[in-house]
Structure 1
């Protein structure tokens, strides 16, 4: 994991608020994804409610961008994240059903979506490297697939170890976006 983005220097209250909100959104992203994977894997009766809450995360993440980029860009980001979440559920459902063709198709679309998210963020903010964010995001995707497989195999201890890596990766992505926004809009902080 990279060093904390603030590197011990003083940061403003606005930076702390943005950082906390961004980290919370990304934490919720991975937690609700894990809960959705479990609900799919074990046919839990909460699947619809958990999925609805997971999809709300896409809107929450987009709303964090509104003050900086406006509604149109925030909505586009929300839609990209929503697609990411929907495809993730498709992968788990196809894997559970043993449909490897559907898994491969969904994985291909998932990685294309991850590349699109990375490109989108780098376009709206020159301080986000498309290549570096794509590498982080692809790691997130690979770890999430590994987590889902382990859950489907009922290897819960290993799935938790992978989830710890997913959580750290999510916080790194949150910090990357936060730092880039602060650098792009320094007068607001």
Structure 2
């Protein structure tokens, strides 16, 4: 079921965040023009790449942790942190150093909850899994508070849904890796990748609406 989360959330995010931003009305007999600029397209591509990097390296942490390869897990974890810094830095041109630092702290909190779930899953500790799941849900609310407060084009409820879904994908993936259900995990990975595109595109669209002069 978790692997199907992406499709309804795609519709939700695009309706709430991008629906009125990508097409302008035609004037008289002129055809409708796509108002996505080259700058917006480049920003979208960058954010997609960064968020895919997040799930790629977190997956490596899960794989190496459950393989009990501490050296490989440490390298992967270092890449998770480096990627988080890049994601946080990507919003600095719009929200300043304070905004970038705030997002970095939230991404650290997010990864802490994810890593706690990986470790709990590896140990088959259901109580710690449940605690990590709660931390992920709480973090989704914290991220939503920050993003909706910074950008009025990011409704809190929508952002919560996006990041709760993202956390659910992480947890599903952890269990599938632990159980060596790699065919199912491949489907979860595909859904995670699609979901990262939704998050990246939603952020891009909302920022472009808020700062149109930076995207002309």
Q: Same fold (TM over 0.5)?
A: yes
Between the aligned partners of 1:112 and 1:152, the Cα distance in structure 2 is: 24
User: TM-score under structure 2 normalisation?
Assistant: 0.83
Structure 2 residue runs of 5 or longer lacking an equivalent are 1-6, 24-32
Aligned residue for 2:194? Answer: 168
Answer with 1 or 2: which has the greater Rg: 2
Distance in 2, Cα, partners of 1:187 & 1:102: 47
Which whole-Å CA distance do the structure 1 matches of 2:99 and 2:78 have between them?
A: 22
Q: CA deviation at 1:56?
A: 1.3
- For 2:117 and 2:85, the matched residues in 1 are separated by 22
1:16 matches 2:20: no
SS in 2 for 1:126: coil
Aligned equivalent of 2:63: 38
Which deviates the most, 4-13 or 34-43?
4-13
The answer to whether the 8 Å contact 2:176/2:182 transfers is yes
How much is the aligned-residue C-alpha RMSD, in angstroms? 1.6
> Structure 1 length as normaliser, TM-score?
0.94
Residues matched between the structures, number: 189
Partner of 2:52: 27
Structural mapping, 1:10-159, within 5 Å: 10-44=35-69, 45-159=71-185
List 4+ stretches of structure 1 deviating above 3 A. 1-8
Structure with bigger RCO (C-alpha 8 Å, 6+ apart)? 2
Gaps in structure 1 of 5+ consecutive residues: none
